[in-house]
Chains A and B, each alone.
Chain A
Amino acid sequence: MRQEQFERENSEFWRELEQFISNLERPRYKRVVNRQGSLDFPSCYRKICSHYALARSRSFSPALLERLHNLVLRGHPHLYRQQTAWGWRMMHFILLDFPRAFRQHSAYFWLALLVFLFPALVLGVGCFQDGDLIYSIMDEQQVASMESMYDPANRQPGRSVERGSETNFMMFGYYIMNNIGIGFRTFAGGILLGVGTLFLLLFNGIVLGGVAGHLTRQGYQDTFWPFVSGHGAFELTAIVICGAAGLMLGHAILAPGQRTRVMALKQQASAALQLVMGAALMLLVAAFIEAFWSSSNLAAGIKYSVAALFWCLVALYLGWMGRSPRGSR
């Protein structure tokens, strides 16, 4: 078949397909509905691909090749688009996928927990024994502002005195920005052979341990511990989960096994993302609790009871949610 004949026979089809694809490329609300409802896109797409292959093998003119290639290129994303049902997928993720992903990669979690908890305990005990040790972690100003936040004389625990206008809502926004950001960075640092993740876990462990030890030594335990114990269930667990996700990235690059490093990284990253997104949701819950519950002036006994409930909930959720008798673990 000569080029002119080929074009004559098919140009009507190409124009139709081009219109159809242009319509798909518009945002959903701007599309012309039902204009080409009769066009069977998958088979039309196969047809345009074969036209392109034919034109190419016969060395038809570059302009024609480009026109056909353009149609093939533009059609491809629409044929292979993933349709998503957001609400349903979200529910499925929270109720089943996240806890399952957590248990599947729990080895990373325990490792991350060790990296976080060990320095926290060491520095916690250290700062409790030695009143000066805290100054090798933080400077004087930071220590002073932290002490004032948990001073029993403070109106609301966990809030600095000088910023009297702080409200629960404002702190909610702040905790979201700060804590989820830390979680994301802890994950992202994993791509530097895991070093970034390890550093952030160690750093946070050291600071939190040191602060806890120091404040207990100062005699502020009745404001500090009731404040942190509640949201800590979600917050600390989520940060360690982000650490686990970061370690997965690092592991993929350091020891890719039978795959290439890039391939291993790609596969681990999409598995790790589930952990990160789940942890981000937990941090959202933690921010809510920290802003509206932890800062209240209820009796310590009530706060400790609720905190115990939170910890049990988190443990039950991560440990058992989504297990089924049919063998899903």
Chain B
Amino acid sequence: MDDPWLPWHDMTNPAQAPLLDTLRAYEIPEGVSLEFRLAGPVVRACAWGIDAALRALLYILLTMGLSVLGGVGVAFMLIGFFLIEWFYPVVFELHTGATPGKKAMGIWVIQDNGTPVTVASSIIRNLLRTVDFLPLLYAFGLLSMLIDREFKRLGDLAAGTLVVYRDQPLKQEISAEEGVIKPPADLSREEQKVMLAFVERGESLSAARRIELAELLTELTGQTGQDAVDELYAYANWITKGHSCDSSARGIGVSP
């Protein structure tokens, strides 16, 4: 792969064009690629809001706690203001990769090669925050994020950092009701994904629509009506969980 940052696409189906997605892959020296889901402007703005509230609280605490001490107290207060203004995010990013706001939103900062953010990069991206904020409320930063395909604000561009989601969304939990059935045909990964998507979205569809969709596969399942839906759920369970759960649940279990 020439460009490690090509949007991820299914290796099993090279004919398929890369989808428009926020998933980015980076190939590491071990020869496999790591996948990161980029955090967009909205989630980052929320994280910033939480941090701004925390910082305001810190300012108030500092003012209340130290102004009673007179000159030296005021000195510490002002130095505290300075440190909070410029280095609040740096401290947290170096410690855990995320400020409390980012942590709450489930995102964190990494280098664009997948390693943890370095001291230099963290300082650069947070010094340049002052320009991203211009002319008001992160207008330049937002503009840069909208133009750049990795949602980088100016500070991220200069520091070579990415803001990504820390945890991948959890897949469908297995539910005992429908059991686990190995699909009768070998499904490609794309087909498996479609089946999982059907189950994940199932709750938001009406029962009639679920049946209607499931019956498209009657040829495969040999079932109609609600049984067809249950059958597909059981296939999805197999796909999600692999074969490793109790195979005696129902139907064609996998031999242990």
B77 contacts partner chain A, Cβ-Cβ < 8 Å: yes
**Given A4-B244, A81-B115, A270-B124, A61:B239 Cβ within 8 A:** yes
Are B124 and A262 closer than 8 Å at their CB atoms?
no
Q: Which residues of B sit under 8 angstroms from A168, Cβ to Cβ?
A: 71
A259 contacts partner chain B, Cβ-Cβ < 8 Å: no
Are A177 and B78 closer than 8 Å at their CB atoms?
yes
Are A169 and B72 closer than 8 Å at their CB atoms?
yes
A185 contacts partner chain B, Cβ-Cβ < 8 Å: yes
Are A45 and B30 closer than 8 Å at their CB atoms?
yes
A239 contacts partner chain B, Cβ-Cβ < 8 Å: no
Of A51-59, A132-140, A210-218, A304-312, the stretch lying at the interface with chain B is: A51-59
Of B110, B158, B192, which contacts A265 at CB under 8 A? B158
B160 contacts partner chain A, Cβ-Cβ < 8 Å: yes
Of B48-56, B127-135, B211-219, B221-229, the stretch lying at the interface with chain A is: B127-135
Q: Which residues of A sit under 8 angstroms from B252, Cβ to Cβ?
A: none
Are A191 and B239 closer than 8 Å at their CB atoms?
no
Interface string of A254-277 (1 = CB under 8 A from B): 000000001001100110010011
Q: How many residues of A contact B (CB 8 A)?
A: 60
Of B38-46, B81-89, B98-106, B201-209, the stretch lying at the interface with chain A is: B81-89
Are A192 and B74 closer than 8 Å at their CB atoms?
no
Are B239 and A170 closer than 8 Å at their CB atoms?
no
Q: Which residues of A sit under 8 angstroms from B242, Cβ to Cβ?
A: 3-4, 7, 60-61, 63-64
A325 contacts partner chain B, Cβ-Cβ < 8 Å: no
Are A76 and B127 closer than 8 Å at their CB atoms?
no
Interface string of A3-18 (1 = CB under 8 A from B): 1100100000000000
Of B86, B114, B121, which contacts A76 at CB under 8 A? B114
A301 contacts partner chain B, Cβ-Cβ < 8 Å: no
Rounded to whole angstroms, the CA-CA distance of A147 and B189 in the bound complex is 77
Q: Which residues of B sit under 8 angstroms from A270, Cβ to Cβ?
A: 120-121, 124
Rounded to whole angstroms, the CA-CA distance of A57 and B31 in the bound complex is 13
Of A65-73, A109-117, A121-129, A314-322, the stretch lying at the interface with chain B is: A65-73
Q: Which residues of B sit under 8 angstroms from A266, Cβ to Cβ?
A: 157-160
Are A70 and B168 closer than 8 Å at their CB atoms?
yes
Of A169, A172, A181, which contacts B85 at CB under 8 A? A181
Q: Which residues of A sit under 8 angstroms from B193, Cβ to Cβ?
A: 62
**Given A63-B241, A167-B71, A188-B127, A262:B78 Cβ within 8 A:** no
Q: Which residues of B sit under 8 angstroms from A73, Cβ to Cβ?
A: 34-35, 114
A82 contacts partner chain B, Cβ-Cβ < 8 Å: yes
B123 contacts partner chain A, Cβ-Cβ < 8 Å: yes
Rounded to whole angstroms, the CA-CA distance of A191 and B116 in the bound complex is 24
Q: Using CB atoms, name the residue of chain B closest to A25.
A: B96
Are A61 and B75 closer than 8 Å at their CB atoms?
no
Rounded to whole angstroms, the CA-CA distance of A70 and B31 in the bound complex is 16
Of A64, A70, A177, A189, which contacts B82 at CB under 8 A? A177
A224 CB to closest chain B CB (Å) equals: 24
Rounded to whole angstroms, the CA-CA distance of A146 and B22 in the bound complex is 55
Q: Which residues of B sit under 8 angstroms from A76, Cβ to Cβ?
A: 28, 34, 114-115
A169 CB to closest chain B CB (Å) equals: 4
* 8 Å CB interface, B126-172 against A: 127-131, 134, 140, 154, 157-160, 168, 171
Interface string of B217-256 (1 = CB under 8 A from A): 0000000000000000000001111111000000000101
Q: Using CB atoms, name the residue of chain B closest to A69.
A: B35
Q: Which residues of B sit under 8 angstroms from A185, Cβ to Cβ?
A: 130
Are A187 and B127 closer than 8 Å at their CB atoms?
yes
Rounded to whole angstroms, the CA-CA distance of A84 and B75 in the bound complex is 30
Q: Which residues of A sit under 8 angstroms from B154, Cβ to Cβ?
A: 191
B32 contacts partner chain A, Cβ-Cβ < 8 Å: yes
Rounded to whole angstroms, the CA-CA distance of A7 and B238 in the bound complex is 14
A88 contacts partner chain B, Cβ-Cβ < 8 Å: no
B74 CB to closest chain A CB (Å) equals: 4
Are B192 and A181 closer than 8 Å at their CB atoms?
no
Q: Using CB atoms, name the residue of chain B closest to A270.
A: B120
B16 contacts partner chain A, Cβ-Cβ < 8 Å: no
Are A273 and B120 closer than 8 Å at their CB atoms?
yes
**Given A70-B168, A174-B78, A191:B71 Cβ within 8 A:** no
Rounded to whole angstroms, the CA-CA distance of A46 and B30 in the bound complex is 6
B118 contacts partner chain A, Cβ-Cβ < 8 Å: yes
Q: Which residues of B sit under 8 angstroms from A249, Cβ to Cβ?
A: 158
Q: Using CB atoms, name the residue of chain A closest to B11.
A: A56
Rounded to whole angstroms, the CA-CA distance of A57 and B110 in the bound complex is 27
Interface string of A179-196 (1 = CB under 8 A from B): 011001101110110001
A328 contacts partner chain B, Cβ-Cβ < 8 Å: no
B70 contacts partner chain A, Cβ-Cβ < 8 Å: yes
B246 CB to closest chain A CB (Å) equals: 13
Q: Which 6 residue pairs across A and B have the least CB separation, nearest first?
A: A167-B71, A173-B78, A173-B75, A49-B30, A269-B158, A177-B82
| Pairs A–B under 8 Å by Cβ, sample size 26 | A4-B243, A45-B30, A49-B28, A50-B30, A53-B31, A60-B242, A61-B238, A61-B239, A61-B240, A61-B241, A61-B242, A62-B196, A62-B240, A63-B239, A66-B168, A72-B28, A72-B30, A76-B115, A77-B97, A77-B116, A80-B114, A82-B115, A166-B71, A170-B74, A173-B74, A181-B85
- Other 5 A-B pairs with CB < 8 A, given A49-B32, A62-B189, A188-B128: A66-B171, A69-B168, A177-B82, A177-B85, A191-B158
